[in-house]
Every structure is written in C-alpha cells, then in structure tokens.
Amino acid sequence: MFRRKVLKSIHLASTVWFVVCVGYIFVLGLHQAGVRWWVVFSLSGHGALVVFLLISLYLFAIYRGISSSQKEPIEHPLTSTAYYTMFYVITPFLGSLAGCVGMIGVSTVSQFLSGIALGTLGATFLVWVIVDPVAGLLEVLLPPASRKHRAERIAAARAEREKKQREHERLLAELLAKEELDVCRWQDVLKPQAERLAGLLTAEKIDFQDAEREAVDIGAGAWRTGGLACMRALRNMAIEISRQNNPGKTIVDYVTIWWDGIGNWRSPSIREVVSSGGRIS
C-alpha cells in the first residue's frame, strides 16, 4: 500500500513536470516566432486547459493501472515489476537529466532550458507512448504461459458474467410467477372495486372531482393490499369490464391520471422491464 502511494505521488510529480516542459516549449516557440507576450499568454491559457484535460484523462488511466493491480504478473512478467513501474513513472525526470547532460557547454539559459524541456518531452513520448504499449503487447502475445493465462482469465470472466445473467433471469422468472399468482388470487377480491372503477370510466354524466376522489380511494386501497402489482391488476380489470359492458365505445383511461402520485404508480412493471431488456436492481 505504501509503495503504491509513493508511486502515485512520483507519477503525479513527473506528469506535472512533463506538462510544465510542454508548456515552456509551446510558449518559447510562439515567442521565437515573433508573437507578442500578451498574445502568447492568451494562447497558452487555452492550450493549458486542453493539456490539463488530456493529462487528467491519462492520469486516470494510469491511476487505475497502478492502484487496482490490473496487470497480472503471469501475463506481464516485465511491466508488472516494481523496477519497471519505477522506471515508467520517473521517465520525465530521466529525460530532463538527459537534456541537462546534452546541454553541457551551452552558454545561454534559454537554450539550456529548451534542451531540458525537449529531453523530457522526447523521453516521455518514447517510453509512455511507444515502448510501454509495445512491451505490454509482446508480454501478452509471445510467452505461452501469458497467452494461456489470459485465455483462462477471459474464459473465467465470461463464465462469471453468464452465471450472473442466468441468476438474473431466474430471479425475473420467479418475480413474474409470483405476480401471476397474486393476480389470480386478487381476482375475486378486486372485482367489486374494478366494477365500480369501470362505472366511473363509462358514466355519461359525472362529477370528475368526486370521481377522482373515489378512484384515488380505490387505488390507495389496492396499493395497501398488494402494492403496484395489485393496482395494475385492478386497473386492467376495470378497463376490461368497461369494454365488455360498452362494446364499440371508446374507453378513456382516466385511471392512469387519477392514480398519479399513489405509491410508485408511474414505475414500469416487471413485464415492461423484461420486454425492454432492462435490469431490476
């Protein structure tokens, strides 16, 4: 744990140093091109924001790689070692050191700083963008043990996902069966309320405020009896009775409006979730 914290701290420092060097090269290049300083600082402000966002994304990826032990030693016998990881995170500093050595004998400060910045940029790009991905790819593809372990790990992960999917489907089937059983059990209990609700839907002259109050009382009773499933069963029974008693007449589903706000009436049912391919948490 301590080693990981140290590595993350060093990596953060080296990345900040890398960004500083890139910014220095950017500003110096604009200045040497004849751009005035106030324009340089204006452009570098926008450029710094873009660089900051890109580096933040890159740091997140590296943080996951270092902190969560994603690299299996069997699959990555080189890049998972402490020595390689340390070399990886201090690469910008090594590039700066190489730039210092290369600038020995230079008389001007600006050239010396440019050499350090360019050394940092070149070494970091070489190791982080080219060497590390190639090394990781070769580790996975070349050694037979690495390929075998990776194949087994992928197969195990796939089997675990399939197991969870089967468990999820079994749970959904149990919930659907329970709902079907509850609906059959509620048929006789809900029939009087369903007939009254159907009467409210098809009445020729009705006070909608009184009808809404009565429908809300009926819905609240169904909610107390069996929750959302009971309310849906009652609503479906009322609609069906209305259609049977009034063939050819258009039935307006006021129940959905009247019951808005009772429990979680607007939530999708289990069947709707299953038909849409959703998941139940």
Query: Residue 117 in 3-state DSSP?
Result: helix
Backbone phi, psi, residue 110, to 5°: -65, -40
Q: Is 130 found in the same domain as 11?
A: yes
What pLDDT, on a 0 to 100 scale, did the predictor assign at position 266?
60
Q: Are residues 99 and 203 in the same domain?
A: no
Q: Is residue 44 part of a domain?
A: yes
Is 96 inside a domain boundary?
yes
| 47 in Cβ contact with 26 (< 8 Å) | yes
- Number of domains the chain is built from: 2
Which letter does DSSP use for residue 250 in this model? P
Q: Is residue 70 part of a domain?
A: yes
Residues 6+ apart with CB under 8 A from 151: none
pLDDT per residue rounded down to tens, the chain (281 residues): 667 788 888 888 888 888 888 778 877 776 666 656 555 455 455 555 556 655 655 555 455 444 444 566 777 777 778 888 889 889 999 999 999 988 888 778 888 888 898 899 889 888 888 888 888 888 877 777 766 776 777 788 888 899 998 898 888 888 777 777 776 777 777 888 888 888 888 777 667 778 888 888 888 888 888 788 788 888 888 888 888 888 877 888 888 888 887 766 665 555 554 454 444 43
Distance CA 64, CA 67 (A): 5
Torsion over CA: 266, 267, 270, 273 (sign)? positive
Structure pTM? 0.46
Boundary (domain end) residue, out of 142, 177, 212: 142
Question: In whole angstroms, how large is the CA radius of gyration of the chain?
Answer: 34
Domain that holds residue 240: 165-275
Q: Is residue 158 part of a domain?
A: no
**pLDDT of res. 69:** 45
The residues, ordered by sequence, that sit 6+ positions from 238 with a Cβ below 8 Å of its Cβ are 194, 195, 197, 198, 201, 255
DSSP structural state of residue 35: -
Degrees, nearest 5: CA angle 68-73-79: 80
Per-residue pLDDT, 64? 47
Claim to verify: residue 134 and residue 181 sit in the same structural domain: no
